[in-house]
Amino acid sequence: MPLRYISRLNFYRSSDRISQLALSKALGVSRQTLSALESGKTQPTLLIAHKIAAYFAIPIEDIFSFKDLKS
Q: What are the tens digits of pLDDT across the range 10-52? A: 999 999 999 999 999 999 999 999 999 999 899 899 999 999 9
13 near 48, Cβ under 8 Å? no
Determine the CATH number of domain 3-65.
1.10.260.40
Q: What are the tens digits of pLDDT across the range 51-69? A: 999 999 999 999 998 887 7
Task: Delimit the domains of the chain by residue range.
Answer: 3-65
DSSP 12-39: HHHHTT--HHHHHHHHTS-HHHHHHHHH
